[in-house]
Amino acid sequence: MGASFVPRLSEKRWDHHVERTLFERWQKEGIYEFKSTARDKPFIIDTPPPTTSGRWHIGAVAAYSQIDMIARSQRMLGKHVLFPIGFDRNGINVEIYVEKNSNVKMRDTPRERFIELCAEALDKLEAQIAEIMRSVGLSGDYVHKYRTDEESYRKFTQATFIELWKRGLIYETTRPNNYCHECGTTIADAEVEYEDLPSSLSYVRFKVRETGETLVIATTRPELICSCQLVIVNPTDERYTKLHGLHAILPIYGREVQIKAHPSARPDFGTGVVMICSYGDYTDVLLFRELGLTEILAAGPDGRLTSAAGPYQGLTMKEGRNRIIEDLTAQGLLEKRENIKHRTPICSRSNTPIEIIPMKEYYLKQVEFVPKLKQLATKMTFHPDTSRQILNDWINSISIDWPISRRRVYSTEIPVWFCKKCGTPLLPPPGKYYQPWKDQPPMAKCKECGFNEFAGETRTFDTWMDSSVSAMYISKYPTNSKFFKRSYPVSIRPQGKDIVRTWLHYSILRCYQLTKRAPFSHVWINGLGMDEQGQAMHKSKGNVVEPEPLLEKYGADAFRFWNASEATLGSDFRCSEMRIAGAHKFLTKLWNLSRFISSFPKPRSAKLQPSDKWILSELSLLVEKSSTGYRDFNFFIPATELRDFVWETFASHYLEMVKPRAYGQGFSTNEQRAAWYTLHTVLKTILLLLAPIMPFMPEHIWRELYSKRSIHSERLPKPAWAKTHKRYTQEIFAFNREVWKVKKDRNLALRDQIEIDVPRALAPFKEDLVKMHALVPKP
């Protein structure tokens, strides 16, 4: 190396602890600040407010990093970006967290006190998440952060309820629904998950009253026999045709029920004979409704058997099941038992099996909106396009309205009072935050009967009632109608595919009901974070990868570059230290070559040589491909294109070709300047293209070498260079690889001379190639 070439980047290695300094500098300079006074339509990201109810999963950190890539790339495309930092703080998750960590029971704790405990826990959890947000470099609006439990948000949720109630879209009724006794509340279908759990199928002997013969029924829920109101067989099942219209006698209880033919009986399950109970599953619910049967409730809200279960009253469902199996066995009424895997409905919050119990709840109409929802789904652009199907499948499965009330405490209160005399529900005017369980009633007289005493509603909303209107809240629907008009629908909704049936569906439903429009133009659905083997991460499996130590060890840029280059948009991605360490090698490479280039002057112009024209042709291609990825919000494309370009095309080939020229070894000053000019042009372009994905190292190099202004205030580059020389790429690659191989085979060092002729097709590059490989003509 010539003595005069000293790298301007003095540090031999990239120290990622510089990231924190840079982050603080951005905050001080306010470069991401959003000014709502600007006149243009802002690019608004309806950020998923993270649920503050536990540690932040690596998949969530990865998802937020990618949402930050949306914000950064859109800013560099010239958009005025609003990237809100919000926290979803309502709901069952935090209540369960507090019960576990403070060793209290929600139902045994005064409501005020329990709410305080939740708020304290949330503040701590939120601070942890905010810390990770900073350490991974999110460029959000930390100054105007919002929380779904703040007064203005809850007031807004309540106002939307009051409006939809007035318009007749909300009603209260009693109907069998999913009930989680662990959470003590009704939950929506969207929050029920199904797991194949080990269970046993009991073959129980019933008697046919008219003939006295034995009728065997296979059931996974023998404890529900007490609530059986009907026995069905399939009309096509010839084994049982003679039983149609006869009666079965229930074992243990001796009660008689009708035997009917009905198509919902599956001849291939068990014995083909099915008992219909209130309620084992949704088939039971439908048959009770269809046939007008009287329900007998076997399960109580406490998860225990009711008095209808006779001797088993007070036992949990599982205890009851075991006891009745013992009794049936003792009485010779159990033919056999088979171990099976049973598809069991589970509460997604508490992971416990749910029961179907009728409770009086508020419902928001959604069934009648299904055709409209399908139409709206076609109007939004999905990224990737295939993810629209997840939404369509869910919409097609909707069969009942959305139960929106919960028997919980840390959520937005339902703003209703009831007249103590006639029971009429009375709603206050919108515009205030109401807590009916403790506030004075805001009305003087019942509008129906004139009575003046009221009982406040004690229930709260399902948390999705709040988070489903986030697009309206962040576009300032409640407070700034001018801004709302120019900002809504918001630009993009990024989220995981695991909450399509909840957050995405409910947002479209609610915002449509309130605004008559879809809430966003683009929907961006990313995959889920899996472990190294591609398995879902679970505490119980011990395969959870914690993000903080990895961020500490490798820095945000490596973490983010790993995530962007790991999987294409929409696919699940694997998380492991090894993969992040792999991404870190790219940073080292980038640092080393930037440092090398930083030793050369930066001429403003130059007379380009063929090799320079070639790499700039490739650079134009890179810019085009990367921009396509950025415009489609698919960061896998720029990340992998940049990785390949930097390692291969640029570092392995071009850089080696022009090193002798850059050092001026036997070249004219003009030729040398052309190498310097091109090296800096390529580096600047790479830094700009990488900045949305890895915000720190490119920023550091940029400010050291090229500008006092932040790289994040720049625009993404345009493909400004002629692509005339891209036709040489394969030839150049092939020739260089061939020379390297021959030298290797002959145990020669790279700088050793070798007798090889430059092929005629590469004649324009002859001088660079001869110097690069120390070629000497064949004798």
Contact residues toward Zn ion (CB under 5 A) are: 180, 182-183, 347, 349-350, 419, 421-422, 424, 446, 448-449, 451
Closest CB to Zn ion among 96 and 525?
96
Min dist CB 450 to Zn ion, Å, is 7
Structure tokens given for 248: 């079965």
Smallest distance, Zn ion to C-beta of residue 107, A: 14
Closer residue to Zn ion in complex, CB, 24/448: 448
Rounded CA gap, 637 and 84, in Å? Answer: 26
Which residue, 367 or 422, has its beta carbon nearer to Zn ion? Answer: 422
**Coil/strand/helix, residue 669:** helix
Shortest Cβ distance from residue 542 to Zn ion (Å)?
24
Whose Cβ is closer to Zn ion: residue 132's or residue 180's? 180
The least distance separating Zn ion from the CB of residue 454, rounded to whole angstroms, comes to 9
Give me the least distance between CB of 350 and Zn ion, in Å please: 3
Bridge-partner residues for 592, per DSSP?
A: none
CB closer to Zn ion, 182 vs 572: 182
Sign of CA dihedral 217, 218, 219, 222: positive
Q: Can you tell me the distance from the alpha carbon of 153 to that of 140, in angstroms, rounded to the nearest whole number?
A: 19
CA of 624: how far to CAs of 379, 556, 654, 718, in Å? Answer: 27, 26, 20, 8
Report the residue number, 234 or 463, with the smaller CB distance to Zn ion.
463
Tally Cβ neighbours within 10 Å of residue 178. Answer: 21
Amino acid, res. 36: S
> Strand, coil or helix: what is 754?
strand
Burial category of 581 from C-beta neighbours within 10 Å (exposed 0-12, middle 13-18, buried 19 and up) = middle
In sequence order, the β-bridge partners of residue 708 are none
Q: What is the DSSP string of 134-189?
A: HHTT---EEEEEEETTSHHHHHHHHHHHHHHHHTT-EEEEEEEEEEETTTTEE--G
Task: Identify the DSSP state of 708.
Answer: S
Residue 451 CB, nearest approach to Zn ion (Å): 5
Query: Contact 755/779 with Cβ under 8 angstroms?
Result: yes
Residue 740: φ, ψ to 5°:
-60, -40
CB of 687 to Zn ion, least distance (A): 49
Listed residue (377, 688, 345, 402) closest to 525, CA to CA: 377
Plot region of 212 (φ>0 → left; ψ -120 to 50 → alpha; else → beta): left
Between 11 and 448, name the residue whose CB sits nearer to Zn ion: 448
Nearer to Zn ion, 93 or 736 (CB): 93
Q: Which is nearer to Zn ion, 88 or 768 (CB)?
A: 88
In 3D, which of 512, 501, 521, 520 has the Cα closest to residue 390?
Answer: 501
Inter-residue contact 414 to 423 (CB < 8 Å): no
CB of 302 vs Zn ion, minimal distance in Å: 13
Name the residue among 779, 764, 746, 766 with its Cα closest to residue 660.
766
Q: Which is nearer to Zn ion, 121 or 419 (CB)?
A: 419
Cβ 508 to Zn ion shortest distance, Å: 25
**Angle at CA of residue 692, ends 688 and 694, nearest 5°:** 90
Q: How far apart are CA 301 and CA 183, in angstroms?
A: 10
Q: Which is nearer to Zn ion, 424 or 515 (CB)?
A: 424
Q: CA end-to-end span of the chain, whole Å?
A: 31
Q: In the chain, how many H helices and how many E strands? A: 22, 27
By beta-carbon proximity to Zn ion, the closer residue of 269 and 451 is 451
Residue 600's nearest CA partner among 497, 678, 702 is 678
Beta carbon of residue 40, minimum distance to Zn ion (angstroms, whole number) = 45
Min CB(447)–Zn ion separation in Å: 8
Nearer to Zn ion, 196 or 448 (CB): 448
Phi, psi of 218 (to 5 degrees): -95, 130
Cβ at position 409, least distance to Zn ion in Å: 15
Measured from the CB atom, the residue of 349 and 684 that comes closer to Zn ion is 349
Say how far apart CA 446 and CA 460 lie, in whole Å: 23
Measured CA to CA, the distance from residue 679 to residue 599 in angstroms comes to 11
Nearer to Zn ion by Cβ, of 501 and 522: the residue is 501
CA-based R_g, the chain, Å:
34
Helix, strand, coil shares of the chain, percent, nearest 5, are 45, 20, 35
